[in-house]
Chain A
Amino acid sequence: MGDLYVEDAVEYFTNPHSRTATRGNVPLSNALAAINKEASANGLSPDSITILLDVAASSRFSDTVSQKLVKCLIPRHTVSEDAVVRAISWLCTNIPSSNLQALIVRWILLVYDLIDSKDRLHALYGLIFHFIEDDTMCPYICHLLHLLTRREDVRLFRIRRLLNLQSRVGVQTYISGLLSIYRLYYPNIVSLVMSGRRKIFFKNTDTAWAQVIRKVQARANAVQRPITVQVPSLAVRGTKPRHKRAKLQLVPSLQSAVDQTDVTVPTDSIQTSISITAGMKLEQIHTFEDLLTNVDRLELPMQVAALLRHPHLQHLLLCSSDRLLTTRLSYWLHHTLQEELILGNGENDAVRELLDMVVTFTDFIQEGVPVLDDIIIRYLMVWNGRDYRSHVLQLITRMGMMPFSDLRECILEPLRQIYCSSSVYVKCQVLYCLLQLLTNYSALEWVTPDPNSNTLPLPNTTSVFSPKADTQALALTTIQELIAYIDKLCVLGLTQERDHAFLMHYTLSYMELASTLGQRFGVPLQQVVSAFLIYRCVFALHAMAVSRVCGVICDYCEQYRMMAKKAGDAGKQEGWDFIVNTLNGYTLDICDTLWRSKAFSFHLNPKRSTMIYHLTSADAVARTRVANFHTAFSLLQHPALMGFTQSFLKQQPDEDRSLGHAHKHRGKLLTHLQERHLQGVDRFIHTFIRSKD
């Protein structure tokens, strides 16, 4: 009654003279036990699996025994395709009971990734498809077909069969699952309404079984590793990566439409579509030069999403006039991101890789993909502000133009909530994102109208994705409102973070962008940075802010002059008075503060509408009990510049080293500042103070 060796046990099952009765058959139960033990400990070799599967599927022994045998088929490394093909052929004979049939299909699903090659199995696609009529097997068959389906398998009659089946048994997740992969290949012929939340089409019923297989595999691999260099199961993945990779990496690998080198189609030249010359296989394109020499001979891949993987091929998309391509790419992106981003849970590397590619792609085509806007807007609703942050923000910068009310509702408000409740670094990221959005809007969506024509100008770029209807009219309002919104965010952030230098840097970036939009993109000047931000910087504790804010004022003035010149006789535009007054107020205040030593001189001209007058009161200044407040923020004594004054004075001859003397060297001090990359102050003084001492 001792334990049998596996070989003997297998021998027992294959021996045609063995007794097949179950009841009271001790050798049989011994053999079964031996196999079970070995299988759950070390797994079975491919050969044993082939033999035993054949025995089980042939139903030579009783149903219970066969089922037990199938349960024991735990592969040590791989499963030979032969075994699976034979099992399928047994299924066709109706000899195994329907429970056993279903069990075998379940087993195939479990070991699917371990099957050493799938081409012959795939050749049986049409045959396997017939099993969907069997109610017991249908869920598993659908799953198996889902895994096996290639583009050429999607046929109208199959879709009809599935739809018929669906109308017979009702909407079932597994049928939807199979249809969804059909739709993925041919979105145009499978019209299918999917309810939004259904992500899991195929239930994993055999989790315990799967776990055993995983354990055995892990153990076998661990044992194997020191002996052979390459772990067999890994080698399998390496040589036949198609499906496994497609599942893991989301973005399919390249497979050109021309090249259908499947064993099922021996004469692939017949399949070639009618192109002038024989098509080049996309797999052969490795360098840009390859692409160039074959640019007119390439067939785009059957899975357009594979383009995302191949930067060279993206050029093809640019020169292709085929709208179907962009539609398919859009559809694929929408589908995949919907599944992974909105319905997925938490971050994972595959999605991150995909988003990386998408971001690079949008950079390459220099525009957003409209379907992504949709996805991002939906994702922002449930976004926690952390997952995929840099990707989400980068995709926002490529948002299409929309009315400001929509933009605020869908993008800005969710971002603001994140902004207000996050650290200063996240604030900066959000701000940077909005600045990029503003830049992209100004550069790509806004086109300076031609004063000589009444019609709206056409965008100066052609769009890869079909452009949305007439966004040009919106562009200006949205851009202006966006500027105002960013302004408020900066105010809020600086107050909240107590003028953190990091945020100050981005606020200044905003001011620099806003003040140069006219010069850079021809966006008309309609508003100026708010006083709060300007004075926050003028009286900041560090020279970066002081210098850059001076530069901003200079830029604004240049922009204004440019526009005034352009408008010429056409006269003043509405709102210019306000802009001029505000700018003058800023300029005067900064001059008084930095240069004229007249800061806070309310008494000089109480009617003057400088902003300081609005923000502070003479009373408050007096209450500080600072004696010489007029000069406290002058070039020489400004807390932000004091250090530079010191270093400057040290370079001077002894007699000039006191602050009192320094006053007459202010010109030199400006140069000194300039040498330290603080050009703003110098530029400001040069622009606005004519006689410089």
Chain B
Amino acid sequence: MPYSANLLTLMSGDAQNVANGPEASEDITHAIEDLRIDIDKQKALLQQLHSNVEKNFQCRAAGSRDSDPLVGIYQEQDAWLRGMIAAVQQRGDELLPTNHGACQEIVCRNLVETCKQLEEVLAHVKSQKQDLEEEKKRVEQWLLEDKEVGRELEKQIRLASDMENTSKKKIKAELGGKYKKAHEYHIFLMQKMIEFVSEHFAPPGAEKGKQKRHGIGALDTTGYAHLLPLYSFLEVLMNRCFEVPHDPYIQLSEEHWSEYVELLLRCGIVVRHPNDSNLIKLVAFHL
């Protein structure tokens, strides 16, 4: 099949060139003549077959709304393949023309073509080889590194088990240091907060003239001595949140000024218990 196809293209496309070329030989002219006769025969056969087809076959639409088109398609395909197999078996082998000149021409062309292709292959294989060598180097490097990491880790494990006792002390000291630092920072932050809150959200007892916003300052000053200042309120909430994380709610009582509760709720700093409006908790900002 490939040879005959080759030949066909060869003859159809280049028949003129071949025939008129300086190397045009008897053989080639003969070959072309043979081929023409062959083509005419094939054409006649084709026409006959086609009229057969027209007479005997009805076309069917593949798709219809009610049936699966695939069934029809596969049936058709099945029939077609069977036909192909039968045709191939019947046809037997296809050969190059026996005409010497034509044969030579074909083989020559094929050889030249193959040479060209082989040169491409060679270039490709060379570059591929280079790539592979690089990859090999890379992988070897990885392997080396991997081994080193493994060795190092083993060493560390040994060291760790050796120094278990000494390191315990070290950890303790280190953690102690960290704790101290954190504690200092905590106190610093708390102080800042107290300053800020006392200045801007003073309890009604310590009212100053300028703090009339948030509706806090305008209230009567007497009778509020028992109220918690806002920072203490917040502190209670925070402590609860961290010390009893599974139940961070606190019970509202008289010492919690309702204005503060309202403020905190509005700003989304605390939330009420879904079932008990007397319980509130700090929103978990740290999570």
* Chain A interfacial positions (CB closer than 8 Å to B): 155-157, 161, 267, 269-270, 272, 274, 276, 288, 291-293, 295-296, 312, 315, 318-319, 363-364, 495, 498-502, 505, 541-542, 544, 616-617, 619-620, 623-625, 639
Contacts and interface: CB of A to CB of B under 8 A. Distances in A.
A501 B268 CA distance: 75
Given A157-B287, A319-B153, A619-B92, A541 B111 contact: yes
Contacts of B152: 292-293, 295
A250 to B, nearest CB: 23
A629 B145 CA distance: 61
Contact of A319 (B98, B149, B181): B149
A495 B167 CA distance: 73
B145 A156 contact: no
A587 to B, nearest CB: 24
Given A269-B178, A288-B145, A156 B287 contact: yes
Interface string B98-113: 1000000001001100
B232 interface: no
Given A156-B287, A295-B156, A617 B118 contact: no
B268 A315 contact: no
Contacts of B287: 155-157
Interface string B265-287: 00010000000000000011111
Contacts of B2: 495, 498-499
10 contacts: A155-B287, A157-B268, A276-B171, A288-B145, A293-B152, A315-B145, A315-B146, A363-B139, A502-B120, A620-B93
B148 A292 contact: yes
A461 to B, nearest CB: 13
Nearest to B3: A498
B118 to A, nearest CB: 5
Contacts of A498: 2, 5-6
Contacts of B149: 291-292, 295, 315, 318-319
Contact of B178 (A270, A276, A544, A625): A270
Most chain A beta carbons < 10 A, residue from B2, B138, B145, B146: B145
B121 A501 contact: yes
Contacts of B153: 295-296, 319
Given A269-B181, A270-B185, A541-B110, A624 B156 contact: no
Given A270-B185, A292-B148, A501-B121, 8 more contacts: A155-B287, A274-B175, A315-B145, A319-B150, A363-B135, A364-B142, A541-B111, A542-B114
B182 interface: yes
A156 B181 CA distance: 27
B178 A157 contact: no
B124 A502 contact: yes
A542 B119 CA distance: 12
B88 to A, nearest CB: 12
B95 A620 contact: yes
A157 B287 CA distance: 8
Nearest to A297: B156
A501 B118 contact: yes
Contacts of B6: 498
A364 B143 CA distance: 9
B193 interface: no
Interface string B132-164: 000100110010011011101100100000000
Interface residues of B, number: 44
B120 A501 contact: yes
Contacts of A157: 268, 283-285, 287
B165 interface: no
Nearest to B138: A363
A502 B98 contact: no
B10 interface: no
A267 to B, nearest CB: 5
Contacts of B111: 541, 639
Contacts of A288: 145, 148
A323 B178 CA distance: 29
A274 B175 CA distance: 8
Contacts of B284: 156-157
Interface string B40-65: 00000000000000000000000000
Contacts of A499: 2
A624 B110 contact: no
Given A501-B118, A619-B92, A624-B95, A639 B107 contact: yes
A364 B96 CA distance: 53
A157 B282 CA distance: 11
A315 B144 CA distance: 11
Nearest to A620: B93
Interface in B241-287: 268, 283-287
A541 B117 CA distance: 12
B125 interface: yes
A349 to B, nearest CB: 21
B95 A623 contact: yes
A403 B283 CA distance: 51
A625 B99 CA distance: 10
10 closest cross-chain pairs (CB), A and B: A501-B117, A620-B93, A156-B287, A498-B2, A296-B156, A625-B98, A541-B114, A315-B149, A270-B182, A501-B118
Contacts of B286: 155
Contact of A617 (B92, B268, B283, B285): B92
Contact of B285 (A155, A616, A624): A155
Contacts of B125: 505
B109 to A, nearest CB: 11
Nearest to B115: A542
B266 to A, nearest CB: 12
A620 B181 contact: no
A315 B142 CA distance: 9
